[in-house]
Amino acid sequence: MRVEDGSDQGVNSKNLVPGNGKITTQLKQDWGLNDVWNDLILPRFERMNQLTNSTGFTAWNETHQKFLPTVPIEFSKGFSKKRIDHRHHAMDALVIACATKDHVNLLNNQSAKSDTKRYDLKMKLMKFEKVAYNHPQTGERIEREVPKQFLKPWNNFTVDAKDSLEKIIVSFKQNLRVINKATNYYEKYVEKDGVKTKERIQQKGTNWAIRKPMHK
């Protein structure tokens, strides 16, 4: 929404942060929301193991030291773990709400492979870790700090996000009614001042219309 106090610059509102799927994907990964999502949907995959008397719907992950949801190859075509639960809309909304223009600027800058190194934004937004390596030509041992992942919006962000997503109850508006009230009209001749004219008259009483096909 644009601000009409003259503080907006150019055609873009200062309250509008443009983003795209690549940005939200990166932030979800760095903020731990992909792990949260796996935890949320894991019971459904464990139940599939029980129903099929198999172990094909979970797989042990050495990195995380726990079982993760998966899908057998024969069922994997067109399948998306994200879209089996409508709470993914809330998760995406949370990421978008916490993303800032700085996040967008930095990620778009990297995606465009710009020569400009946004070191200032990286220092502000990202967690740095020390790495050591040998120089490929001199063999000299070199230590430096490199950006690893984006800092979370707040320290307990991942835990708070999981707690909130677990409390969400998805509901749908039911508008597939079988019948509804209808208003019927008919035409009749009405005499006025000795002249008969055709008028459209609303039928009195309660009328119902069936909202289903009468036959196939």
Do residues 115 and 34 lie in contact, with contact meaning Cβ atoms separated by under 8 Å?
no
Q: Which domain holds residue 186?
A: 179-210
Q: Is residue 197 part of a domain?
A: yes
Phi, psi of 12 (to 5 degrees): -95, 135
Angle of CA points 125, 128, 132, to nearest 5°: 160
* Residues 157, 79 share a domain: yes
pLDDT value of position 116: 59
Report pLDDT for 99.
Answer: 94
Cβ–Cβ < 8 Å for 41, 87: no
Instruction: Indicate whether 10 belongs to any domain.
Output: no
CA 163 to chain CA centroid, nearest Å? 17
Cα–Cα distance measured from residue 20 to residue 26, given in angstroms and rounded to the nearest whole number: 10
Domain tally, the chain: 2
Instruction: Please tell me whether residues 190 and 150 are part of one structural domain.
Output: no
Whether 8 maps to a domain, the answer reads no
The pLDDT of residue 33: 97
Query: Using one digit for the tens of pLDDT, what is the confidence trace for 147-206?
Result: 899 999 999 999 999 999 999 999 888 777 777 788 888 888 888 888 888 888 888 877
Q: Which residues contact 163 (CB under 8 A, 6 or more apart)?
A: none
Same domain for 84 and 190:
no
Please give the model's pTM, rounded to 2 decimal places. 0.70
Please check whether residue 215 lies inside any domain of the structure.
no
How many contiguous H segments (helices) and E segments (strands) does the chain have? 6, 8
Taking residues 79-93, report their average pLDDT. 92
Give 94-131 pLDDT, tens digit per residue. 999 999 999 998 988 765 555 556 788 889 999 999 98
33 closest CA partner among 87, 83, 89, 95: 95
Same domain, 127 and 191: no
109 or 38, greater pLDDT? 38
pLDDT tier at 5 (50, 70, 90 boundaries)?
low
Tell me, yes or no, whether 36 and 123 share the same domain: yes
The pair of structure tokens assigned to 20 is: 């795209």
pLDDT of residue 197: 86
Task: Look at residue 157 and tell me if it is in a domain.
Answer: yes
Residues 130-162: pLDDT tens digits? 988 888 888 889 898 888 999 999 999 999 999
Question: Does residue 65 fall inside a structural domain?
Answer: yes
On whether residue 90 sits in a domain, the answer given is yes
In this structure, the answer to whether residues 147 and 191 fall within a common structural domain is: no
